[in-house]
Each structure stands twice: as C-alpha cells, then as structure tokens.
Amino acid sequence: MRAILGRALSYLSIPSVGGIRSISIWLSLLFVFSVPWENALQIGEIGRASKVLGYVTFFVWGLGVFAQKRLRKPDGLQQAYFLFLIWNGLTLYWSVDAGATLSAFKTYTEMFGLLLLFWDLYDREVLVKAALQAYVLGAFVAAGSVIVNYLTAPPAQFPLHERISALGFQVDGIALIAAIAGPAAWYLAAGPEAARRPALARIVNYAYIPVGVVAVAMTGTRGATLASIPTAVLILWSLRKLSAGKRVMAVVALVAAFVTVVQIAPTGGLDRISTAATLTEGDEGALSGRWSIWVESSQVFMERPVQGVGTDGHRAAVAHLRTQRSAFKKADKEAHNTYISILVETGLVGFAFFACVVVCVYKRVRSRTGWELYYWTAQVAVLAIGAMSLSLEDSKSVWIMTSLAVASAAAARTQEARVPSESWAARRIGAALRPSPRPRFD
C-alpha cells in the first residue's frame, strides 16, 4: 500500500514524507490543495478544515525551525508585510469598529505566518512547482463542483442571471479561484520543463483549462472573466514557442473549452459576462452597484485620509451612507475593491506600506526571464485584476500565489548546487520529475 501511495504521489509530483521538514512541506501542500475548496469542509465551531490544517502545518514547521535552529532570513516581501501588519494593529486605537479590527488583525497575523512558512520551506523551484500543482488540483475540485452543481441541480442560485456556485462560496469568490489556477495549469502543462513531468500531470493540467473556463462561464462573473485575460495572453504568447505535440494538446484543450461553454453554459451567465465592458446594467447601477460603494468609500476616506477608519472598519464606516442593497447583506458594505478597502481602512500610511509589498513582488517577478517572466507576470496580473472587484486583502489564495512568486524568483537566483540542508522532499520531487529511462530491446 505504501509503495502504491508513493507511486501515485510521484505521478502528480507530490513528495512522500521523511523528516520533520519534509513533513512540514507535505502538510503545506495538503493545505494549498485544500484552500480552493476550503468552504466545503467545516469542523464544528472550529470552522474550516483548512484552518485547522494550516495551524497544524505551522505548528510542525515551528517545531522543525526550533529543533534545527534554522530559519531563512526574511525577504523584502515579509519585511514590508510586517510593517503593514504593525500598522493594521495600531489602527485598533482609532478604529470605528474595534471588534472587527481585532478579528482582522488576527487574520492578518495568520497571513504573515503563512508568508514566513512558504518563504522558509519553498527554497527550490521544484517545491514551488509542486505547490502550484497542489493548487491546480484543489481548483479542479472547486471548478468541477460548479459544473456538477449545474448538471445535477439546474435551477440557478440567482434566477435573474442564472449564476452557478458551489461548496458554500459566493459566486464571485469561487469564480476567481478558478481563474487564479488558470496560468499555473498552463505553465505546468506547456512550460519549458513540462516534458520532464509525468504524463498524467500534464494531462490533468491541460484538462483544467476547459474545466476552469466553463466554471467561470457558469458563474457569470465578469470580474473573474476580466482577470482571466492575462491567462489568455499567456496561452497565445506560448503557442509560438511550443512543439508540434504541445500545440496539438493546447488546441484540443482550447477547442474543448469553447465547445463546452457553447453547449452547456447557461445563456444568462454568458449574457452577463458580455456586459463586462459596460458601466451600467439595469437596476443594479454602475458596475453592479460597486460604483456607488466606491463613491461612498471616497467620502469616508476624505474624513480620515491619513490614519483610516481602522482595519475591517469599512462596513461600519459606510453603513450610514449605503443607498443600495445587494443579494448578500454582509458583503453589501464591503469595498469590493482591495485597493480602495486598504486605502479607506488604513489610510495613506497603511496604503504606502501595502504599496511596498506590491513593489517587492513586482521586483522579484521582473527579475525573471523567458517563460518564467511571462508566467509569473500573468499569474500576478490575475491577482491584481481580481482585486479590483473583490476585497482580497485576507485571501489565502492571493498570499499563497504571492509567496510562491517571490520564493520562485529567489530560488532561481540561487547558484549553489544542492547542499546537505536541502530537504529530502525536494530531492524526492526532483527524482519524480525526471523521465524514466526507456527500455531497450536488443
């Protein structure tokens, strides 16, 4: 049984366990896999199962750091985020909603721990790719659930637009998750080292493209559709660099996506997506009511431009100004824009710290070349565009991908050969990715 499990993990480029550091890596991969469908599993009053898994991963990793007395020196991303975190904590003193601010500060602290964990563990490109693969597999569960939901329960959650969701997510949220995995799936399927990956892994990643496209179409989410544009650009750019075999696989995946969308996607959702370029839509108002929210957010910002209203205080700050009501009462008072949310809640000071975080990521991505430059640019662009229509400052998916972008760039700059401190998991994945020798018959 152990041999069968090890072979199955090898086919998907996932490491087997060995040593406390490798156990931490294995747990972190399970955590990454669980994030795209985290709302599906709830553990009583504790909450999401992914939260429990995250705490366990952090605990095991902490034990390893303590036992080995080894912690990778933080990069600019972690340092900038730490300053951002401290400022968010200070906003508690003048927050318009102290309870919400304290809760959000705890969440931000967890995100900081996540940044440290991924930076310390993912010090090799092969580990970064394993994490990307884990996220794609998790997104496969989320996107596939949307499709299954539609096929098994045709009545839509929102009859007006025939929008489909799944796993307890709001429609916009699960659509963006599907969109985020798109660039990673294509990179793993058609990238420069794709031939070294097991055939099953390449097939799974190619298959995700039509599944992800159909899932986004079924949600009828315009924000996720716009966020998928960098993925389309990446695919078009890469076609001219692919071998004949890869081009055939790519064309098959794209044709399958197009045909499936035309055949089974709800027309209401497609019609809604077609209005992505317009500012108005019937009674919902400009940008589905977001424009009015942003206007009210600007009014609140002008009242406290420097220090902000306090982390996660946007709802309380604009409550007396809201003139519209959406389908989600709780989400109604969110900024529906990460940049506006941070600016209003933490003021110019907090936004400056957040800008430092963005600059650190940008510099790391710009240091790449070739395929990696185009892939990571597309991956970060999906996050940046998605953040324009949703409040994602505490999104695990966003910070996981951000961490991997920085870790990948740092690993690429490492010129040294494998050192004794390299984890057994990294060596195991490297061995799994090497193609098996072909048998000779003399």
Q: pLDDT tens, 18-56?
A: 578 889 999 999 999 999 988 777 776 667 778 888 899
Helix (H, G, I), strand (E, B) or coil at 327: coil
The pLDDT assigned to 440 comes to: 43
CA 359, CA 354: separation in Å to the nearest integer? 9
338 burial level (CB within 10 Å; 0-12, 13-18, 19+) = buried
Tokens, residue 8 = 């199955």
The pLDDT assigned to 108 comes to: 95
Q: Low-confidence residues of the chain, pLDDT below 70?
A: 1-18, 44-46, 153-168, 242-247, 250, 253-254, 256-289, 320-333, 415-442
The pLDDT assigned to 145 comes to: 86
- Tell me which residue of 177, 302, 301 sits closest to 227, measured CA to CA: 177
Do 185 and 382 meet the contact criterion of CB atoms below 8 Å apart?
Answer: no
The pLDDT assigned to 298 comes to: 84
Give the per-residue SS3 of 179-242: HHHHHHHHHHHHCCCHHHCCHHHHHHHHHHHHHHHHHHHHHCCHHHHHHCHHHHHHHHHHHCCC
The pLDDT assigned to 25 comes to: 93
CA 70, CA 61: separation in Å to the nearest integer? 11
Tokens, residue 174 = 């699960």
Q: pLDDT tens, 111-156?
A: 999 999 999 999 889 999 999 999 999 999 988 888 888 777 655 4
The pLDDT assigned to 438 comes to: 43
The pLDDT assigned to 330 comes to: 44
The pLDDT assigned to 24 comes to: 92
